[in-house]
Structure 1
Amino acid sequence: MQIVWSLGALVRALPAQGMQTLEALLDRIHALFDSDRQKRQQVAFSVAMIALSAKMAKADGVVSQAEIAAFQQIFSIPPDEMRNVFRLYDLARQDVAGYEAYAAKMAALCDDDGQSCELLADVLDGLFHIAKADGMVHPRELDFLRQIAGIFGLADEQFAAIRYRHVAVGKDGPYAVLGLDPGEGAERVRARYLELVKENHPDRLAARGVPDEFMAIGIERMKAINAAYASVAKGAAL
């Protein structure tokens, strides 16, 4: 199910200018998907990825062709929907509301009950994927992403695990990717690895509202987890 293309009706209902984009988005999402919480989360995921990537581009000041290609890797945009998606992107970039407001509203929309939402970590993962597309994550992008993680309520170790999946690091990086402290024993390392494999199974991703288009990033995530496990295994009796 390619939920991102539910965005067509959403985007067409937005104002021509970006001044009320954020509130218009939230009102429209609730109106269209009020009775379907899962679909609401899926659409919220797509909106968060599009809007926050636009805000990240504004914070960095540069939008490279590589970043656009990475964006399109996440969203395999049909030609007849390209206009709608990039209209949302442009309106979010122009909107006077700061990225902090977008992140906070999207976090609240992700889970109306106020509980933690795994989907927010998926959003941050996608933003890192876009940020690194031009060969590196620039300091302003990293600061932006760290602020987003804080607004999303992600713990420091969650941010570190996501960061180190995308950014080359030192010898402790593989442990961070696995969410472990350096020096953990073989039994704990393997148990944690199996937990991550289960958490990132495509069925689990779909169940928490990740659209089909994002599964390619899920595959890249598992490659990083496998590489981290292989690296840690060299120093432990696994």
Structure 2
Amino acid sequence: MGWMGKLIGGAMGLAIGGPLGMIAGIAFGNLFDRANVYTTTQDHSIPFGTDSSMNTQQQSQMIFFVGAFSMLARMATVDGRLLPEEQKKVEEFISQDLKLDPQSRQAALRVFNAALTGGGTFDQFATQFYQNFAHEPAILELMIDILVRVAAADGSINQDEDRLITVAAKIFRIQDSLLASIKRRYGTIAASPSKAYAVLGLQSNASVDEIKRAYRKLSREFHPDSIASKGLPEEFTTFAAEKFRVIQEAYDTIKKERNIV
């Protein structure tokens, strides 16, 4: 979690601004005394509270990290209260899907808990997230995938959760067909003839050329190295790698079924 450790002493809330900056400030603001605490980088002592070394990628990483757990907090409390089963779904996502180390797990829960009591709406969080990743459709799709995955962890998506996911998809400019294919991956709507086609965002009658184009596009966009270069925090690389593996397996399944060479 090196990137977070580097930023934790900076004025991260001020750096990213907006409602997500406010949540970051609530989550991490009490971890340091800006006037007295220092961190050492190579041979230089840098006062915590200065973020001059914060580059664009680090800012994007922070927005993704804070945005993801802030939106999950709003989804978990969409009916006005946090139920134990909703808390459990988020904690299982953190430990089982993301496989976060203890420090990253603590940071994720700090953001989640800060968003439970802090200001800002789901729509505002999603809008700021979109503004940062508007030109990175793979990152936006990955965030929708996370929301659907967590919502469906108990076997179904309730009406309120589905409403928020739809709101996020509209803000992110995600097409209805793509949202439907993401839901099919997790079995939350009627199953398609083949889950493999849904993973590639296709219907089972897609042509061979369409299948190849979809596979090339997705494998390029969701390659872990490509995703990481666009601002994905290192804590989410395991999740991205799993999505990339599913894309590969789906294409292999279709190739065998259709005798594609």
Q: Is 1:47 aligned with 2:66?
A: yes
Residue type matched to 2:109 in 1?
Answer: F
Does the Cα contact within 8 Å between 1:67 and 1:133 map onto a contact in 2? no
Does the Cα contact within 8 Å between 1:129 and 1:166 map onto a contact in 2? yes
**TM-score normalised according to structure 2 size:** 0.71
CA distance in 1, matches of 2:76, 2:63: 20
Three-state SS of the structure 2 residue aligned to 1:171 is coil
Q: Is 1:71 aligned with 2:89?
A: no
Structure 1's 227 and 166: CA in aligned 2 closer, same or farther, altered over 3 A? Answer: farther
The structure 2 residue matched to 1:196, chosen from 218, 222, 226, is 218
CA distance in 1, matches of 2:62, 2:225: 18
Q: Structure 1 residue 93: deviation in Å? A: 1.6
Q: Structure 1 residue 215: deviation in Å? A: 1.6
Q: Which of the pair has more CA radius of gyration?
A: 2
Does the Cα contact within 8 Å between 2:69 and 2:112 map onto a contact in 1? yes
Residue number in structure 2 paired with 1:98: 121
Does the Cα contact within 8 Å between 1:74 and 1:126 map onto a contact in 2? no
Does the Cα contact within 8 Å between 1:38 and 1:209 map onto a contact in 2? yes
CA distance in 2, matches of 1:128, 1:45: 16
CA distance in 2, matches of 1:99, 1:75: 25
Q: Structure 1 residue 46: deviation in Å? A: 0.5
Residue number in structure 2 paired with 1:183: 205
Residue number in structure 1 paired with 2:35: none
Count of matched residue positions in the alignment of Structure 1 and Structure 2:
227
Q: Deviations over 1:43-75 (max 9, x none)?
A: 111011111111111116532424312123426
CA RMSD of aligned residues (A): 3.4
Three-state SS of the structure 1 residue aligned to 2:78 is helix
Does the Cα contact within 8 Å between 1:178 and 1:228 map onto a contact in 2? yes
CA distance in 2, matches of 1:227, 1:106: 30
Residue number in structure 1 paired with 2:3: 3
Residue number in structure 1 paired with 2:22: 24
Identity of aligned residues (%): 23
More helix by share: 1
**TM-score normalised according to structure 1 size:** 0.77
Higher alpha-carbon deviation: 89-98 or 42-51: 89-98
Q: Deviations over 1:80-128 (max 9, x none)?
A: x6555423212212234321111112222x14xx645532222222223
Does the Cα contact within 8 Å between 1:177 and 1:228 map onto a contact in 2? yes
Does the Cα contact within 8 Å between 2:75 and 2:161 map onto a contact in 1? yes
